[in-house]
Amino acid sequence: MTEPDTRTQATRTFATLDRRAFLRRLGIAGAGAALAPALVRDPAAAQADPTLAPFLHGVASGDPLPDGVVIWTRVTTDQPGPVPVDWLVARDLELTDVVASGTANAGVERDFTVKIDVAGLAPGTWYFYAFEALGTRSLIGRTKTAPSGAVERLRFGVVSCSNYQAGFFNAYAALAERHDLDAVLHLGDYLYEGGASAGARTNFAEDRSHRPENEIVALADYRQRYAQYRLDPDLRRAHQLFPWVTTWDDHESANNSWRDGAGNHTPGAEGDWPVRKGWAQQAYEEWLPIRVDDPARIYRSLRYGELADLIVLDTRLDGRDEQVGSELMVLFEDEVRNPDRQLISPEQREFWHGELSASADRGTRWRIVAQQVMLAPLNVVALPNVEELLGVELPDAPLFLLDGPAAAINPDQWDGYTVERDRFYDHLRAAAIDNVVVLTGDIHTSWASDLTPDPVNPLVAPLGVEFVATSVTSSGFENILGSVEAARVAEPAVQVTNPHIKYVDLTRRGYLLLDVSAERVQGEWYLSEPVQATRGMVPAFAAAWQTVDGSNRLSPGTGPA
């Protein structure tokens, strides 16, 4: 393994991985500018950097294995036919020590995206890669294979919910400045399906309204929306520097989607749901550096040596029954405890539980589960009256935060599928599996919770922990409650009635850093303002919580690791 040397090499790369510097060193300064006229045929490329043509969307890598990784790019061209694309992977920044190379075709059938599953690499090693087409070389990307055997430490940047129209992707920019990440994990809502917002045209220093302007429902729509997002320079650079492991949530298809429909899908007017869902899944597979045989089946697992197994789930489209209601609502227990209800398909459940057992049987230290919606229960009975505390009237706020005691849940989360959660807990107990860490996005806020079958009974031991990453840009509870002040008042109230919830921040944007060692897994939240109104807002360390080996519960962290 080359792990000790790659940390130094990684630092050098961060300082020097600039395209213009590379072009000068490679002797092709200015290449690409002559292809700029082709951009006018791509409506999503209105804000593109023409000097990157034809590789306007940069490069990316993902799903690292000990001996391989997926590399990705896209060719923007006005040529109707296939475009030959050369690729290479090297050990050095200068791309002279080549370990793999080849040629692929970029064609209309895959929206001119190219994805190569590179094999034969060494474990735990940094590599550099690039593509060449139409006489021009792409940006040089950097990636890292997963380690094998004994591993001292892992670090992951964890993000979710990146709405282009809600602000700038400063969390991505901050991750790109880190020197210590093994991979970036995106837990879903990589993009949003809604139409253009007038506010997004005027609220920021540049137009961040969606393209196309309509809600995306067809394959061409989804492709164009991905093309727009991938032109963002902060997202492009974060993809360029690290391998990503991704899974979708609902907005990659439609809000509150499930197996056979979505809250934001109108049959007839917006077509048939199976067709729309299939188009959304196809575009996702084309535009993300993900390794799957079937675009509809993205649950999978990745091994990080003896230290951690990463299990990636799809709690959104694969088997999920329809939500029993919409948004936050009052429900009776029997509505969500129907034993026939499921959040995932039986096949995915068998895969997930089997991977947990196999990981424990191998003696792997940690089992990290990357999934979409909040798993820990949220007990909202007897929360205080926020309006009385603030002395203001908050219109359209959730019932449970305004009117005193109520039994309300978000039926889109695991609280709406309690039998599925019980199946998970039962498997952990029956197989005596410990050291389970669940990573979650979706809710646009930051949480750390013990996962316990009975949160109010201190005699019932937790079975694992959950770290919830806030959103990159999407609004939090300040939008629901009407103000940042109201949301901050609610934070301690939530913890009083939910003793298993150890940390909550309901207003700020940013990312989660997951720091993994044999002794403990620590989650660190790096947060900044609720609205990412300008580019360059830097998330700062806000909190840290950890779970110690064998404890299956949270304790205060040790500060930035």
Q: Are the beta carbons of 314 and 248 closer than 8 angstroms?
A: yes
Decide if pLDDT at 274 tops 70: yes
- Residues 546 and 557: their CA atoms lie apart, in Å, by 5
Q: Any idea which of 26-35, 128-137, 493-502 has the lowest mean pLDDT?
A: 26-35
Q: What does the alpha-carbon distance between residue 255 and residue 295 come to, in Å, rounded to a whole number?
A: 19
CA 78, CA 446: separation in Å to the nearest integer? 44
Residue 18 pLDDT grade (very low, low, confident, very high; cuts 50, 70, 90): low
Measured in whole angstroms, the distance separating CA 64 from the mean position of its chain's CA atoms is 16
> In this structure, what is the dihedral angle of CA atoms 187, 188, 191, 196, given to the nearest 10 degrees?
-120
Regarding predicted confidence, which is higher, 479 or 132?
A: 132
Taking only Cα atoms into account, the Rg of the chain, rounded to an integer number of angstroms, comes to: 23
pLDDT for the residue 552: 99
CB atoms near residue 149 (< 10 Å)? 11
pLDDT in tens, 303-347: 999 999 999 999 999 999 999 876 555 555 677 888 999 999 999
CB atoms inside a 10 Å sphere around CB 258: 21
Pairwise CA distance, residues 516 & 314, whole Å: 23
Report residue 514 CA to chain centroid gap: 13
According to DSSP, residue 216 is labeled P
In 3D, which of 291, 267, 271, 269 has the Cα closest to residue 279? 271
Q: Which of 232-246, 364-378, 485-499 has the lowest mean pLDDT?
A: 485-499
pLDDT at 341: 94
Q: Is the pLDDT of residue 381 over 80?
A: no
The rounded distance, in Å, linking the Cα atoms of 475 and 554 is: 27
- Greater pLDDT, 349 or 404: 349
Antiparallel, parallel or unpaired: β 308-312 and 366-370: parallel
Choice among 162-171, 201-210, 286-295 with the minimum mean pLDDT:
201-210
Q: What is the pLDDT of residues 105-136, one digit of tens each?
A: 999 999 999 999 999 999 999 999 999 999 99
pLDDT value, residue 410: 83
Q: How many CA atoms lie within 13 A of 520 on its CB side?
A: 16
> Does residue 386 surpass a pLDDT of 60?
no
d(CA 222, CA 539): 30
In whole angstroms, give the CA distance from residue 161 to residue 198: 20
The whole model's pTM is what?
0.91
Which two three-digit tokens encode residue 208?
């961040």
Per-residue pLDDT tens digits for 242-251? 999 999 999 9
Looking at residue 45, its pLDDT comes to: 53
Tokens, residue 13: 């790369």
Average pLDDT, the chain: 89
Report pLDDT for 37.
35
The answer to whether the beta carbons of residues 545 and 448 sit under 8 Å apart is: yes
Inter-axis angle of helices 219-230 and 273-287, to 10 degrees?
30
Q: Which of 230, 235, 231, 165 is nearest to 202 (CA)?
A: 165
Mean pLDDT of 387-402: 46
Confidence band for 51, pLDDT divided at 50, 70 and 90: very high
Question: Six-digit token pair at 364?
Answer: 């792997």
The confidence score (pLDDT) of residue 22 equals: 40
Mean pLDDT score, 260-274: 96
- How much is the average pLDDT of 18-30? 41
Average pLDDT over residues 529-555: 97
What's the pLDDT score for residue 46? 56
Report DSSP letters for 130-170, one per residue: EEEETTEE-PPEEEEPPP-S---EEEEEEE----GGGB--H
Residues 475, 506: Cα–Cα separation, whole Å: 9
Taken in order of first residue, the domains within the chain and their CATH numbers are: 1-146 (2.60.40.380), 147-556 (3.60.21.70)
Write out pLDDT tens, residues 411-456. 899 999 999 999 999 999 999 999 999 999 999 999 999 999 999 8
* DSSP of 301-328: EEEETTTEEEEE---SSSSPPPPSSSSS
529 pLDDT tier (thresholds 50, 70, 90): very high
Give the DSSP letter of residue 101.
E
Here the tokens at position 342 are 């499921």
Task: Tell me, letter by letter, the H, E, C secondary structure of 468-493.
Answer: ECCCCCCCCHHHHHCCHHHHHHHHHH
**pLDDT band per the 50, 70, 90 thresholds, residue 387:** low
CA distance 505 to 541: 13
SS3 call for 274 = helix
Q: How far apart are CA 255 and CA 95, in angstroms?
A: 43
Evaluate whether 122 touches 16 at the Cβ level (below 8 Å). Answer: no
Q: Is the pLDDT of residue 188 over 70?
A: yes
- For residue 77, give the nearest of 49, 40, 46 by alpha carbon: 40
Distances in whole angstroms, Cα of residue 188 to Cα of each of 56, 173, 457: 23, 18, 33
pLDDT band, residue 21 (cuts 50/70/90): low
